[in-house]
Amino acid sequence: MRKSALVLSIAAVLCCLSACHKVEYGGQTGKILHKKYDPALNINYIMADVHQHWDTIKLDLDRDNTTDIKICFFYDKSYLIGSSDWELSLTTDGDISGVNWWSRDYQLLWGQLSTICVRHTTDEGPCYGWLDCYATKGSEGQVDAIRFYLRETAYCTCPNYPLKWGEK
The helix or strand, by DSSP H or E, that contains position 6, with its residue range, turns out to be helix 2-19
On whether residue 43 sits in a domain, the answer given is: yes
Residue 142 DSSP symbol = T
On whether residue 16 sits in a domain, the answer given is: no
Provide the domain count of the chain: 1
Do the bridges between strand 143-156 and strand 20-25 make them parallel or antiparallel, or are there none, so unpaired? Answer: unpaired
On whether residue 93 sits in a domain, the answer given is: yes
On whether residue 58 sits in a domain, the answer given is: yes
On whether residue 71 sits in a domain, the answer given is: yes
Evaluate whether 59 touches 37 at the Cβ level (below 8 Å): no
Give buried/exposed letters for 2-33 (b at 16+ CB in 10 A, else e).
eeeeeeeeeeeeeeeeeebeebeeeeeebebb
Please report, in tens digits, the pLDDT of each residue of the chain (168 residues total). Answer: 555 444 444 444 444 444 577 888 888 889 999 999 999 888 877 766 555 556 788 999 999 999 998 888 776 677 788 888 898 887 766 677 677 777 667 766 566 656 788 899 999 999 999 988 877 777 666 567 777 888 999 999 999 998 888 888
Output the pLDDT for position 52: 57
Output the pLDDT for position 154: 95
Q: 51: domain range?
A: 21-156
